[in-house]
Structure 1
């Protein structure tokens, strides 16, 4: 049986790094991409194939696809869209540039990469596109409007792509994790400090009493938090099952919120989400 290949974005740490290592151990040929070359070099030292791919940069995506083609001869069995970042802050405090920046990575770059991979999969007659969304692609949460907006949009775009790919042998799959151990909180701090003038906000007291504490204080794992391996386990099922599901929930909160969204009226769902 020929070795299967996968391109993964956002492999510098967390979910992406765990997926790259686990799939490599399972015999997959893994192309573990990162935004920074220094992170790629570290992964290469571990024995992984790694090269830069910055979802915010169209030229970087072009170069990465060229590199992929040169290494594989033009084939690819799977794409795992994992790269993303968070930008905390109240919606009324998010300037246009902030939304533009996060959408460039979490939605536009992911979409651009997916479009460039589809012709490769069409030419070989098969493929799987797995996209890591979030429980925040199912329900909203205060202070996370920018991230929620990108994940809601990503869910919609992925659902339509799945419908449009019916009749082909290209499967389109969503993974929706809840709280997972990662660096996303720490990595969001520079984006928050760049874009959100919280001290000038009418919500300044709320920032002090809520978001700033959560953002800057390390308070241990969240309730129900699972390690990245929990996401990787669902990724393996999505990639290796003969008949993969359209969606895979990860963590108790995702299962609960998925159910709540289906059965509760909006006012009741708002109350539940607000209570955390």
Structure 2
């Protein structure tokens, strides 16, 4: 079978949110998009939307759980056979685990890192041989402002995104000589399922918990952020820039909101940031 000559991208976590929007955007740009889905039943919504936009023939759903090495290998081999190359990998699959450090079971921490970190690493390792051989490619890592600044009650997610930031910096240096660009997308809260699910799964402290009061104060803030979060299409647009820019940057912030948050971390004294966070939690620091 002759290889398809169109540019090809693999987008993980393409069943909803950033991943779905990115898959559709890339297809509209003329790319062949391999849409990785942990839950294959989610392909119906993706295919329906792609059909409505007239791009169904450019979107190929793939069964892909990034914590399953067998599925990763099969997905990459499918792309190799059909395309003969891979021009972009968008490492988007992930979820947000919340709760207070003392009370989040260690198994939950492991689940968080298996998907957000080790799944991302495994996916990257699987595509690098093909990209090195063709001496080109883009690898986009969906990070977060949480990868640069910590937030209470989100430590598992924050820690995983800090790991992604460090991984991205190291990887970018290692593969630059092979013509491969690596970029981090530092997104804030957006109106996507990941934030809704994070709030719904936030481990609620018991009435006797020392953290109960903090939870009561913080949950409405998380709820507000989820309801008033940004338009996720801004993140898809940033991903496209990371893929299409002639000289891709290491970091992209989709909107001014993320830029302001990270500037605050860079320029404001940590003591000020800490006081604001503790005030939100109802803590009076002596």
Matching residue of 1:64: 75
Alignment partner of 1:136 out of 129, 146, 152: 146
Is the 8 Å Cα contact of residues 20 and 32 (structure 1) preserved in structure 2? yes
The 10-residue stretch of structure 1 (106-115 or 244-253) with the greater mean CA deviation from structure 2: 244-253
Cα distance change, pair 178–112 in 1 and its aligned pair in 2 (3 A) = same
Matching residue of 2:205: 198
Alignment partner of 2:93 out of 83, 94, 102: 83
Matching residue of 1:187: 197
Q: CA deviation at 1:177?
A: 1.0
Matching residue of 2:62: 51
Q: CA deviation at 1:23?
A: 1.1
1:140-171 superposed Cα distances (whole Å, 9 cap, x missing partner): 11111110000000000111111112322000
**What secondary structure does 1:237 align onto?**
helix
> Normalized against structure 2, the TM-score is what?
0.86
Matching residue of 1:239: 243
The 10-residue stretch of structure 1 (132-141 or 246-255) with the greater mean CA deviation from structure 2: 246-255
Q: CA deviation at 1:183?
A: 0.8
Is the 8 Å Cα contact of residues 99 and 204 (structure 2) preserved in structure 1? no
CA distance in 1, matches of 2:66, 2:238: 24
Alignment partner of 1:221 out of 223, 227, 248: 227
Q: CA deviation at 1:219?
A: 8.3
Matching residue of 1:261: 265
Alignment: residue pair count? 268
Is the 8 Å Cα contact of residues 99 and 146 (structure 1) preserved in structure 2? yes
Cα distance change, pair 174–274 in 1 and its aligned pair in 2 (3 A) = farther
Q: CA deviation at 1:269?
A: 3.0
Q: CA deviation at 1:126?
A: 0.5
Q: CA deviation at 1:251?
A: 2.8
Cα distance change, pair 190–209 in 1 and its aligned pair in 2 (3 A) = closer
CA distance in 1, matches of 2:226, 2:12: 27
Q: CA deviation at 1:241?
A: 1.3
Question: What stretches of structure 2 of length at least 5 have no aligned partner?
Answer: 51-55, 281-286
Matching residue of 2:174: 164
Is the 8 Å Cα contact of residues 4 and 77 (structure 1) preserved in structure 2? yes
CA distance in 2, matches of 1:64, 1:41: 19
Cα distance change, pair 109–219 in 1 and its aligned pair in 2 (3 A) = closer
Matching residue of 2:283: none
Q: CA deviation at 1:256?
A: 1.4
> Normalized against structure 1, the TM-score is what?
0.89
1:229-268 superposed Cα distances (whole Å, 9 cap, x missing partner): 1011111211111111111112333211221222233222
CA distance in 1, matches of 2:277, 2:133: 44
Q: CA deviation at 1:204?
A: 2.4
Q: Does 1:12 align with 2:18?
A: no
Q: CA deviation at 1:13?
A: 0.9
The 10-residue stretch of structure 1 (99-108 or 240-249) with the greater mean CA deviation from structure 2: 240-249
CA distance in 1, matches of 2:226, 2:180: 40
